[in-house]
Chains A and B, each alone.
Chain A
Amino acid sequence: MTFILKTEGLNKVYRLGSFVRSRKIQALNDVNITVESDKPVVIAVVGESGSGKTTLAKTLLRLETPTSGRAIVYDRPVVGVGSISSRKEFLSTVQPIFQNPFEAFSRYRPVDSYLHETARRVANMGEKEAEDAVADALDSVGLDYREVSGKYTNQFSGGELQRISVARALIPQPQLIVADEPVSMIDASRRMIIINLFKRLRDEAGRSFVYITHDLATAYYISDYIAVMNKGRVVEFGKAREVMSNPQHDYTQLLLSSIPTTTSRWRPRLRAAG
């Protein structure tokens, strides 16, 4: 068994205001998540804005330093005391996918240059090797290298760009991909393409995911484990099916009952006059 993800007492405190009159915000409050498995998994982190889920993502990606605590990915400490110090080594273990692909890539550079750079700098590949890796990565997200090459962000749809972000993340062969709201900027009718891609990468390429979202329906659909966050705390954690079918915490129940479904209504819709 491998510790795919283990966080130990992660805390993050932000300070707002001036030096004399500052307010503390506890964005992460003693976050302990343990996922031990032999198979790759998708771990969903759900909660409303301000619940700390993005801070958790940033902490796992080393974009924020935790106030205390540490995190382990695939048995290797990646965040906190005693974590791997090499940035390259870290980036070949954990890779990010961000919310808005139009912001993740510059408008003034061809998109495929990012993929090349990741291959050359993070995965230490040579020119020829990098070229093949980029083509393979794009192929695995259902895109053709020849059609992507030399194009800029405005020549792609949000869904295509997000697939390119996934391809970029795959190049260093990371064990864990942290995706922060990867589908919220994409058209509803195209979201499942990305979600199903994650599923396929888990099952066929053996990648694990931390899927940060406020959309419980897609979280239910792809995740093996789910962590429900509220005000910096993990209020409920467990196997996704169990948590969603039998939520224990009040907040999880509130979240689930607030989802607009197409099966049962909150209040009857009486057909008005006319």
Chain B
Amino acid sequence: MISIKDLQVSYRLGTRTIHAVDGVTLDIPDGCIVGIAGESGCGKSTLMKAIYGDITSPMHLSRGSITYGLKSAKGRQVTAQNIREEWFKSISYVPQSSMNSLNPVIRIREQFIDFPGTDSNKKRVLERARAYMGKLGLPPEAMDSYPHQLSGGMRQRMMIGLATFFQPELIIADEPTTALDVVVQKDILMLLMELQEEMKNTILVVSHDMGVHYQVTHKMLIMYAGRVVEYGDTDSVFSDPQHPYTKMLIDSLPTIGDDSMRGLMASAAGASGDRAYRVEPILHEVKPGHFVAQAAAAAVAQSVGA
């Protein structure tokens, strides 16, 4: 279990300091897919970077802590200090537009055996990798190709293959399918779900598409202005959203076959300028396992009526 306590992550910009993540407290249980939603600038990518331990200037942890319930291969407790040693072993990261993060001038197999921590017997690793990629629906030659010879969908499959090959206990995927078409997106998401069911690891998926979240995740985390707005089981969050911001996110896109013009809600909110939502720093448990950043139930009713 990953336990985040009162985490504040800030960026220093000249004399100003911006708190991109501001007081997040969160427990992420093992063995589930957690979806993270919110608009650009809400701090979701920053939170993912902090969990991954990729903290470089001007970004820094200004308060709080992250504890990982992970043990390294040598049996050592993984902490925020030594998390970098676990990269590509027990924790891996699929960055945004990751299909473009393969090195364009060397063959994929070279990049693969380049990963730190791979078996010293490169031949054996490659053999296993080839078999694994075949399982993911990639042709065996794919490993011997240069990235540009593969389609976007194949490259994304390859990235997911690389990220899951060492069976990490935690995978962070930042918008893993955003640049892909719906047909390819479905393939990739199905693959991700299958792999997770097999490996029983924890996957954090950042996406702005609520449809993707509904399809893939077990738990949902909604962020707004650096804070957690709502956190709970996906079914509970979608069937009974508590915070007005969550409701707006769920209702903001139209559904095929639904002519009730749900999207109009979003335009009403947008017409009056960018609507600001109030996010309390303390989460409230409204149902078992369903938390909302709202002072009391009365406040929910009030802001919905407004």
Question: Which positions in A face B, CB cutoff 8 Å?
Answer: 48-49, 142, 157, 159, 187-193, 195-196, 214, 216-218, 220-221, 244-245, 254-263, 265-267, 269-274
Q: Is the CB of A260 within 8 A of B266?
A: no
Q: Which 8 A-B pairs have the closest CB atoms?
A: A274-B29, A260-B211, A48-B181, A221-B254, A192-B266, A272-B31, A193-B270, A192-B263
Q: Which residue of B lies closest to A218 (CB)?
A: B254
13 A-B residue pairs with CB within 8 Å: A142-B271, A189-B39, A190-B266, A192-B270, A193-B271, A196-B264, A217-B253, A221-B254, A262-B210, A270-B197, A271-B218, A272-B31, A272-B33
Contact of A189 among B185, B190, B266 (CB under 8 A): B266
Complex interface: stretch among B46-54, B80-88, B154-162, B244-252: B244-252
Q: Is the CB of B218 within 8 A of A267?
A: no
Q: Which residue of B lies closest to A271 (CB)?
A: B218
What is the minimal beta-carbon distance from A100 to any residue of chain B, in angstroms? 14
Q: Is the CB of A261 within 8 A of B252?
A: no
Determine if B6 is an interface residue (Cβ-Cβ < 8 Å): no
Q: Is the CB of B189 within 8 A of A272?
A: no
Determine if B278 is an interface residue (Cβ-Cβ < 8 Å): no
Q: Is the CB of A259 within 8 A of B270?
A: no
Q: B244-276: which residues lie under 8 A (CB-CB) from chain A?
A: 248-250, 252-257, 261, 263-264, 266-267, 270-271, 274
Q: Is the CB of B209 within 8 A of A260?
A: yes
Q: Is the CB of B215 within 8 A of A217?
A: no
Q: List 15 additional contacts besides A142-B271, A244-B257; criterion CB under 8 Å.
A: A48-B182, A157-B274, A188-B249, A188-B252, A218-B254, A220-B256, A244-B256, A254-B183, A258-B182, A265-B215, A266-B186, A269-B218, A269-B235, A270-B197, A274-B1
CA–CA, A218 and B197, complex, Å: 32
Q: Is the CB of B253 within 8 A of A188?
A: yes
CA–CA, A49 and B184, complex, Å: 11
Query: What 1/0 mask marks residues of chain B from 31 to 48 whose CB sits below 8 Å from any chain A CB?
Result: 111000001100000000
A residues less than 8 Å from B215 (CB atoms): 260-261, 265-266
Q: Is the CB of A261 within 8 A of B271?
A: no
Q: Is the CB of B208 within 8 A of A188?
A: yes
Query: What 1/0 mask marks residues of chain B from 209 to 228 whose CB sits below 8 Å from any chain A CB?
Result: 11110111110000000000
Q: Is the CB of B256 within 8 A of A188?
A: no
Given contacts A187-B39, A259-B256, contact A48 B183 (CB under 8 A): yes
What is the minimal beta-carbon distance from B187 to any residue of chain A, in angstroms? 8
Q: Which residue of B lies closest to A188 (CB)?
A: B208
Determine if B234 is an interface residue (Cβ-Cβ < 8 Å): yes
What is the minimal beta-carbon distance from B115 to any residue of chain A, in angstroms? 27
Q: Is the CB of B250 within 8 A of A262?
A: yes
Q: Is the CB of A220 within 8 A of B254?
A: yes
Q: B164-207: which residues lie under 8 A (CB-CB) from chain A?
A: 181-186, 189-190, 193, 197, 200
CA–CA, A260 and B191, complex, Å: 14
CA–CA, A188 and B245, complex, Å: 13
Q: Which residue of A lies closest to B41 (CB)?
A: A187
CA–CA, A127 and B193, complex, Å: 60
Q: Is the CB of A272 within 8 A of B200?
A: yes
Contact of B263 among A48, A196, A269 (CB under 8 A): A196
B residues less than 8 Å from A273 (CB atoms): 29-31, 200
CA–CA, A190 and B269, complex, Å: 9
CA–CA, A214 and B178, complex, Å: 12
Q: Which residue of B lies closest to A196 (CB)?
A: B267
Q: Is the CB of A261 within 8 A of B183?
A: no
B residues less than 8 Å from A48 (CB atoms): 181-184
Contact of B211 among A192, A195, A261, A269 (CB under 8 A): A261
CA–CA, A191 and B249, complex, Å: 11
B residues less than 8 Å from A188 (CB atoms): 39, 208-210, 249, 252-253
Determine if B11 is an interface residue (Cβ-Cβ < 8 Å): no
Q: Is the CB of B214 within 8 A of A262?
A: yes
Q: Is the CB of A260 within 8 A of B212?
A: yes
Q: Is the CB of A193 within 8 A of B254?
A: no
Most chain A Cβ neighbours within 10 Å, of B31, B215, B250: B215
B residues less than 8 Å from A261 (CB atoms): 211, 214-215, 255-256
Q: Which residue of A lies closest to B214 (CB)?
A: A262
Q: Which residue of B lies closest to A257 (CB)?
A: B186
Q: Is the CB of A217 within 8 A of B31?
A: no
Q: Is the CB of B255 within 8 A of A189?
A: no
CA–CA, A217 and B238, complex, Å: 18
Contact of A195 among B212, B248, B263 (CB under 8 A): B263
Most chain B Cβ neighbours within 10 Å, of A193, A260, A263: A260
Q: Is the CB of B214 within 8 A of A245?
A: no
Q: Is the CB of A265 within 8 A of B263?
A: no
What is the minimal beta-carbon distance from B265 to any residue of chain A, in angstroms? 8
Q: Which residue of B lies closest to A159 (CB)?
A: B270
Given contacts A214-B181, A221-B263, A271-B32, contact A191 B234 (CB under 8 A): no
CA–CA, A191 and B185, complex, Å: 20
What is the minimal beta-carbon distance from A217 to any residue of chain B, in angstroms? 5
